[in-house]
Amino acid sequence: MHELVAPGSLDAVLELLAAEPGVWTPIAGGTEIMVAHAAGRLNATKLVSLWGIRDLRFIQVATDSVSIGAGATFVDLRRHAELCEFWPLMARAASWIGSIANQSRATLGGNLVNGSPAADSSPALLVYDAEIELISVRGRRRIPYCEFHTGYKRNVLAQEELVYALHLPRRFSHHKQYLRKVGTRRAMAISKVALAGTALFNNGVNGEGVIGEIRLGAASLAAFPARLLKTEQTVLGRQITRETITAAREALLAEAAPIDDIRSTAEYRKRVAANLVEEFLLEVGGRGAKP
């Protein structure tokens, strides 16, 4: 039998987690936990509800950043005009989560703590250089989001900690932005592979522009969502030529470590990811092909 308590405030939840570390599992929108419960594989027997805690559900835009509370739902993200304008990949990722009925309940924090390698919001957070803020009774700490996940469904959260917010710097307006998810169908699909990219292309005087900045974030290419650092290094500072793209593809094929699972194969994931990187680079260079 499962016990579910709903103390109703952030402080009360943090006190409970501190009082009995490792005993209580937080449940936000429930779109993952309730599925496990229905399938009879929910091991956590004591749950503490985060739903309805206003201190966790916010989107605050400042001059140089946006802070998204862990309790913000994906509908919240999609409806926030400024977020959509300056961080469009977040809204796009939000529209991929399940269906509208799931988006109104699934939270950003829940998506990240669940920690699926296929998490829909992760690639965009990675390429936006997001910071993740963790909170406990002892206070708060921020780390780069790319350091949050440490292994398959493992992260740096201490037993008494919760994810509090994600902070995204406002500096990507002039970047080329890219996000593509490959799933089993157009909607309600767990990602087979997804790629996010932000890049600054410095147009040279004689058309010999180079990549000034590039970030690539991927889902389902490793045990957790991660930046493709080696692939980024291969193209940083270079022009976009046939050679660069070939080098990027090869770097990705070497860097990516996807698996075969019930949804797809490692070979397929690698090759499609390479195709997506190529698609992104062509767009960055201004030679994107239109279907």
Partner 1 sequence: MLVNGETCTVHVPPMKRLLDVLREDLRLTGAKEGCGEGECGSCSVRIDGELVNSCLIPVVQAEGAAIQTVEGLATNGVLHPLQECFLACGGAQCGICTPGMLMAAAQLIERNPHPSIAEIREGLAGNLCRCTGFMRIFESVLAAATQTRNPEAGRTDHAR
Partner 2 sequence: MSTTAKTRIVGASVPRKEGIDKLVGRAVYVDDIEREGMWHGATVRSTIPRGRIRSIDFDPRIDWSEFTIVTAADVPGKNHIQLIVADQPCLADGAVNHCDEPIVLLAHPDKHKLREAAAAVRIEYEPLPAVLSIEESERMDPIIWGEDNVFKSFLLEKGNVDEAWAQAAYIVEGEYRTGAQEHLYIENNGMIAEWSATEGLTVWGSLQCPYYVHKTLKSVFDLPDEKVRVIQTETGGAFGGKEDYPSTLASHAGLLAMKSGHPVKMVYDRMEDLAATTKRHPSRVRHRTALDKDGKLLSMEIDLATDGGAYSTLSSTVLSRATLHSCGPYVCPNIRVRSRAWATNMVPYGAFRGFGAPQAIFAMERHMDEIAAAIGIDPVELRRHNFLHQGDQNATEQLMRDPVILDQLLDRALAESDYYARRERFVRENATNLVKRGLGLVTFYHGSGFTGSGELYLNSLAGVEVTADNQVRVMVSNTEFGQGTNTILTQIAAEALGLAFGDVVMAPPDTSVIPNSGPTVASRTSMVVGRLIERASLQLLDMLRDEAGLGAHATRDEFFAACNRYRAARGEVKSLSRYEAPPGIHWDDKTYHGEAYGAYAWAVYLAQVAVDTRDYSAEVEEFWAVQEVGRVLHPVLAKGQIEGGVAQGIGYALYEKVVWQNGRMANNQMTNYIMPTAADVPPIHTIFEEIHFKHGGYGAKGIGELPHDGPAPAILNAIRDATGVSFNAIPLLPEDIFARLAACQLQEEPAIK
For 56, 99, 153, the CA distances from 108, given in Å and listed in that order, are 10, 15, 16
Contact segment (CB under 8 A) with partner 1 among 4-12, 114-122, 259-267, 280-288 equals 4-12
Q: Does 244 participate in binding partner 1 (rule CB under 8 A)?
A: no
Contact residues for partner 2, defined by CB under 8 A: 35, 38-40, 182, 184-190, 240-242, 245-246, 249, 262-265, 267-268, 271-272, 275-276, 278-279, 282, 285, 287, 289, 291
Task: Work out what residue 41 binds among partner 2, partner 1, none; the CB cut-off runs from 5 to 8 Å by kind.
Answer: none
Task: Work out what residue 122 binds among partner 1, partner 2, none; the CB cut-off runs from 5 to 8 Å by kind.
Answer: none
Task: Work out what residue 263 binds among partner 2, partner 1, none; the CB cut-off runs from 5 to 8 Å by kind.
Answer: partner 2
Nearer CB in complex with partner 1: 100/236: 100
Distance CA 249, CA 132 (A): 30
Q: Does 23 participate in binding partner 1 (rule CB under 8 A)?
A: no
Q: Does 26 participate in binding partner 1 (rule CB under 8 A)?
A: no
Binding mask 170-209 for partner 1 (x = CB under 8 A): ----------------xxx---------------------
Ranges within 44-83 binding partner 1 (CB under 8 A)? 47, 49, 51-52, 75
End-to-end CA distance of the chain: give it in Å, rounded.
53
Q: Which residues neighbour 239 within 8 Å (Cβ) at sequence distance 6 or greater?
A: 208, 209, 210, 211
Q: Count residues contacting partner 1 (CB under 8 A)?
A: 29
From 157, 189, 193, select the one nearest 70 (Cα to Cα). Answer: 157
Q: In what order do the strands lie in the sheet with 162-169?
A: 59-61, 65-69, 162-169, 131-136, 139-144
Task: Work out what residue 75 binds among partner 2, partner 1, none; the CB cut-off runs from 5 to 8 Å by kind.
Answer: partner 1
Q: Does 5 participate in binding partner 1 (rule CB under 8 A)?
A: yes
Least distance in angstroms from the C-beta of 84 to partner 1: 16
Q: Does 102 participate in binding partner 1 (rule CB under 8 A)?
A: yes
Nearer CB in complex with partner 1: 29/123: 29
Task: Work out what residue 23 binds among partner 1, partner 2, none; the CB cut-off runs from 5 to 8 Å by kind.
Answer: none
Nearer CB in complex with partner 2: 59/277: 277
Residues that bind partner 1 (CB under 8 A): 2-6, 27, 29-31, 34-35, 37-39, 47, 49, 51-52, 75, 98-102, 104-105, 186-188
